Structure 1
Amino acid sequence: MKAVKVLFALSVLSSFYCRQVTPVLQAAVEVVSFGIDVYSFFDSILGEDEDKSPPPPIEYDRIINRISEKIEASTDTVVFKIELQSYISELRDVALTVKQLLAEMMDIVTAKSKEKREEYQRRFRGNYRQHQTKLYRIKNLLAFKIDVSGISNTLLALIANEFECGMTKLEEFQNYYMTLVSDVVALSLLNERLEEKSLYNDTLASWKTATRSLYTDFEKQKSNCKAKFFGLIKKNFDKINDPSQLYQSNQNRYPYKATDVLFLSGSYCVWNLKNYNNILKKMHERTFTYVVINENKNEAAHSREQYLKITSTTQFRDCLEDTGKIISYFDVLGEDLIFWLMFPQDISDKFRILLDQNSTASQINHVQDGTEYTTILYVRAQDIEVNSTLTLADFDTVFNEDTVEEPSGLKTWQFWAIIGGSALVLIITITIIVAKIYKKCRESRFDY
């Protein structure tokens, strides 16, 4: 009997891989694999077959550790807004029931006598039958239509909406949910092992189908969220002003898109292509913040050395005049300039340049007239079928140069001017007085 079950389990696993293996199929295999392990283990410790050899202690330890991990994870906290609390209460009930039945599974494994083990088996079967309908609803719970605040949608769609389509949160919820599914599969297969007439094959096949369907539902929901990306990231951009917080939020919510945050508060030269939707910009408290959404087609085709030849010809203070010249240089390379930022390195502490690990930005450092500059630029390959060249009118240009503020009160030159002026007045006054005295002395001498 055991050999038949193992062969069927292997056939189920191989049937997944005989097709093109997708992430959905691979994840489904992992979900049912725990149940197959559980069934195989209990098949080796239960029954009266004298030909069976008991599993080695290491197998006991392995299954006990896995069940312990499952018990701990089964009631992980998932936080939702109050509107959804009543609709996820059933999911919480499933989690608590799973925890209880896993504990009873552990009792069967660790029983010290045959009598105790049989007692635990009877208790498990009774409780499993009592909650079987509730447990099986986890197959389609996410697809139930629910009305919340006048909006009718599936529970999964409403949960994604509560997470504002944040992909990290959605992935965490998926892992939580599918872990529960994996537990229920294991409990179902253990129940089949304890039944007088086992429907192992049918039960495993049913869970295989359900698991694949659940993963498909999650993938569809993620795709729906990704389709809303630009609206979501714009909302995020408008709401968050701190560059580090904005960057981290983008990384957590939209890990499927490489997004950079460029925060400018100092002297800088910026050119950005007007009709390019992948750049967001705003001014807040005299600082510019840009978010650049990277695209694979925008990856630089040339080396930093080639771009250095272009940046080194640019005069920082000629920012507004140099645009056309630089555009033509990139045109010779067969690329369109999308975004250009240039700033002196000695004020780099006024900038926050936060680049994704998959950023398509090129960062070039060079020295000009004794001053070190950093230039960050994004380009895209030109469409060879379009014979149009970008012009100055296609760009927004911004040049800002911080001026050194003089301290309040007298400026240095004013102070020395006053001192010098006062000294000159004093000298003139003394000269006049001396001249008058001298004149009087002469007059007095002649009168005598």
Structure 2
Amino acid sequence: MNLFYTILVFSILTSTTVGAGLTILKTAVEVISFGLDVYSFFDSILGDDETQSTPAPIDYDRIINRISERIEMSSESIIFKIELQAYISELRDVALTVGQLLTEMENIIKAKSKDTREELQRRFRKNFERYEIEIYRVKSLLTFKIEVSEISSSLLSLIANEFECGMTSLEEFQNYYMTLVSDVVALALLNEKLSDNSLYNLTIVSWQTTIKSLFDDMEKQKEECKGNFFELITKDLIRINDPSDLFENNQNKYPYQETDVLYLGGSYCLWSLKAYEKLLNKSKDHTMTLVFINDEENVLSDTSELQKIVPKAKYENCLDDIGNILSHFDVLHKDLIFWLMYPQSQATKFKILLDQNSTASTITTESDSTKYTTVVYLRTQDLNTNSALTPSDFDVKLYEKVDAVDESSGLKAWKLGVIIVGSVAFVVSNVLIVVLWYNRKRSRLENGMRVIYIDDL
């Protein structure tokens, strides 16, 4: 991958790294939950008689493990294009400071004596006050306007642009950011627990408001990206040539939208509804790549219906059978919007990659001892309109590609013929050379000339 393109290291974002309890954080309650656990734990160990307040081992292990995970998260690296580094560095600085304060929190818990614990508590409070403004920047850093290439944008919109609005990547970044916010909440609540006049309730309410605002900002950015879906996926179709790569790209970048990728590399009969906006395609050297965007209007057909209708279309009658097929679907109150038929003998030249929620129906039929695969997309008819589809509403394409000759069983007749003809020509040419040589030698002897040839010696 290009060095200046997006490189993102986010081991913190996978459940295999941090456990099922730290998947993408979606609600304010989840973000605050770590802080509530921290506050509750310290409430149990900082009682009036601390010598008698040792927590249960399982509680101790659980909180230590959670804090250790968060410390590890804070050291994860985020690397973007060079022009974004100056702005991401601020976020990285916050993360590192949070990691240092989490380590101090962990040290307080692990303290063996009351005196050591109290000293560590005083140090924590001093450092929290020192770095409070810096770590509280997580409240505004995401939407703070910055200038890149003379364009003023928020960090969130710049990152969305960096990811080309890839939704999976945006959600991973959201998870990273809100985990960092969750850490700051925990540090703030611990500071309140250690203070003389705790403002616990006010702190909770303030952070709930902040977290809701941050989620709203992120959802707004995601909705803006979704609004550019057709423009983005069209660019991807042009940019990505391998159909498997294109399919994987679509699954990762647009998980909110079911899309299929159909690559046509062999013979096919194709009917597609003209100007159907949810079917994108590009052609190159008689191959075709299509992206079909499944929608609520599209329906899966009953296989038994297709088994009755599809065999009525003959592959060799591709250009003529469409009207007949349309009428059959019309009786079922369904519109045909896409039809692809190809011989199974050329199946390796096709890649039909379907989303798990695809509305495509695929069946196999046989005609004149030849098997065919047919992929059909239908939509529910609008019963409020009386206009039925006609063949003129479709683009109809027929492409015939000759099957590759199988030479594994031996030489084919045409090659054998060439060899025979070539062999005969070789023999005849050699006979002519011998005859010409003999006649020339005889002629010279008859004229009184003695010519010695190499083969005479």
| TM-score, length of structure 2 as denominator length | 0.83
Aligned counterpart, 1:363: 362
Judged with a 3 Å threshold, the aligned counterparts in structure 2 of structure 1 residues 35 and 148 are, in CA distance, closer, same or farther, namely: same
CA contact under 8 A between 1:258 and 1:358: conserved in structure 2?
Answer: yes
In the other structure, the counterpart of 1:188 is: 188
Partner of 2:414: 411
**In the superposition, relative to structure 1, how do residues 416 and 86 fare at CA in structure 2: closer, same or farther (>3 Å)?**
closer
Distance 2:386 2:257 in 1: 30
In 1, Cα distance between the equivalents of 2:363 and 2:153? Answer: 50
Q: 2:298 maps to which residue? A: 298
Unaligned runs of 5+ in 1: 1-23, 423-448
Secondary structure of 1:411's partner? Answer: helix
The residue identity in structure 2 corresponding to 1:82 is I
Distance 2:420 2:304 in 1: 51
Partner of residue 315, structure 2: 316
2:290 partner letter: Y
The corresponding residue for 1:334 is 333
- Given that 1:260 and 1:291 are in contact with CA atoms closer than 8 Å, whether structure 2 keeps it comes out as yes
Residues paired across the two proteins, number: 397
Match of 1:251 in 2: 251
Q: What amino acid does structure 1 have at the position aligned with 2:255?
A: P
Task: For 2:279 and 2:310, locate their aligned partners in 1 and report how far apart those are by CA, in whole Å.
Answer: 21
The structural deviation recorded for 1:52 is 6.8
Tell me the distance in 1 between the aligned counterparts of 2:134 and 2:299.
51
CA distance in 2, matches of 1:389, 1:48: 82
Alignment partners' CA distance in 1, 2:71 and 2:420: 83
For the residue of structure 2 that corresponds to 1:143, the secondary structure is: coil
Distance 1:314 1:327 in 2: 11
Supply the AA of the counterpart residue of 1:392: P
1:394 to 2:393 alignment: yes
Distance 1:149 1:260 in 2: 37
Please give the root-mean-square deviation of Cα atoms over the aligned residues, in Å.
Answer: 2.3
Aligned to 2:140: 140
1:54 is matched with which residue? 54
Counterpart in the other structure of 2:38: 38
> Residue 342 of structure 1 aligns to which amino acid in structure 2?
M
Please tell me whether the aligned partners of residues 280 and 291 of structure 1 are also in contact (alpha carbons under 8 angstroms): yes
* Aligned counterpart, 1:348: 347
SS in 1 for 2:312: coil
CA distance in structure 1 between the aligned counterparts of 2:403 and 2:370, rounded to whole angstroms:
17
C-alpha separation in 1, matches of 2:169 and 2:130: 33
Contact 1:344 1:371 in 2 (8 A): yes
Share of identical aligned residues, percent? 58
Distance 1:416 1:153, change over 3 A: closer
The CA distance in 2 between the partners of 1:360 and 1:333, in whole Å, is 17
When residues 382 and 417 of structure 1 are mapped into structure 2, their CA distance, relative to the original with a 3 A threshold, is farther
Match of 1:95 in 2: 95
Say if 2:346 and 2:403, in contact at 8 Å, map to a contact too: no
Deviation per CA, 1:359-384: give whole Å up to 9, x if none: 11001112222121111010111111
8 A Cα contact 1:247 1:261, kept in partner: yes
SS at match of 1:338: strand
User: Counterpart amino acid of 1:363?
Assistant: T
> Paired residue for 2:113?
113
**1 CA distance for matches of 2:215 and 2:238?**
33
Please tell me whether the aligned partners of residues 269 and 319 of structure 1 are also in contact (alpha carbons under 8 angstroms): yes
For structure 2, the residue ranges without an aligned partner over 5 or more in a row are: 1-23, 426-457
Provide, for residues 138-197 of structure 1, a one-character-per-residue CA deviation record: whole Å limited to 9, x for no partner: 111111111111222211111101111000110110000000000000000000011111
Measure, in 1, the Cα distance between the counterparts of 2:25 and 2:239.
39
Query: Please, which moves more after superposition, 256-265 or 383-392?
Result: 383-392
- The superposition leaves residues 238-295 of structure 1 with CA deviations (integer Å, 9 ceiling, x where unpaired) of 1001000000001110010001000011111111111210001111233111100000
Report if aligned partners of 1:269, 1:342 keep a CA contact under 8 Å in 2. yes
Would the alpha carbon gap of residues 237 and 417 (structure 1) be closer, same or farther in structure 2, given more than 3 Å must change?
Answer: same
Moved more, 240-249 or 338-347: 338-347
After TM superposition, the score normalised by the length of structure 1 is 0.84
CA pair 261-405 structure 1, distance change in 2 beyond 3 A: closer
Structure 1 residues 110 and 315: alpha-carbon distance in aligned structure 2, compared to 1, 3 A threshold: same
Q: Is the 8 A contact 1:44 1:52 kept in 2?
A: no
Q: Distance in 2 between matches of 1:303 and 1:202?
A: 59
- SS of 2:27 mapped into structure 1: helix
Q: Is the 8 A contact 1:362 1:378 kept in 2?
A: yes
Cα deviations across residues 296-319 of structure 1 (Å, max 9, x unaligned)?
A: 22122x411101111111111111
2:292 aligned with 1:289: no
| Structure 1 residue 79: Cα displacement | 2.3
Q: Which amino acid in structure 2 is aligned with residue 152 of structure 1? A: S
Distance 1:292 1:355 in 2: 9
- Measure, in 2, the Cα distance between the counterparts of 1:317 and 1:413: 32
Alignment of 1:8-47 (within 5 A): 27-47=27-47
**CA positional deviation for 1:68:** 0.7
- What is the identity, as a one-letter code, of the residue corresponding to 1:221? Q
Higher helix share: 1
The answer to whether the Cα contact below 8 Å between 1:240 and 1:246 also exists between their aligned partners in 2 is yes
> More deviation in 142-151 or 108-117?
142-151
- In structure 1, how many angstroms separate the alpha carbons of the residues matched to 2:278 and 2:308? 27
SS in 2 for 1:152: strand
Kindly report which structure 2 residues correspond to 1:424-435, keeping only aligned pairs within 5 A, or say none: none
Cα deviation digits, residues 213-246 of structure 1 (max 9, x gap): 1111111110000000000000000100100000
* 1:47, distance to aligned residue in structure 2 (A): 4.0
Return the alpha-carbon distance in structure 1 between the equivalents of residues 91 and 284 of structure 2. Answer: 44
Task: Write the distance in 2 (CA, Å) between the matches of 1:180 and 1:71.
Answer: 10
In the other structure, the counterpart of 1:426 is: none
Q: Displacement, 1:26?
A: 5.8
Aligned 8 A contact 2:50 2:114 in 1: no
CA distance in 2, matches of 1:57, 1:250: 47
Matches within 5 A, 1:55-94: 55-94=55-94
Q: Conserved in 1, the CA contact under 8 Å of 2:25 and 2:175? A: no
1:415 & 1:404 partners in 2: Cα distance?
22
**What is aligned with 2:383?**
384
C-alpha distance in 2, partners of 1:195/1:416?
Answer: 99
Deviation of the 1:411 alpha carbon:
2.0
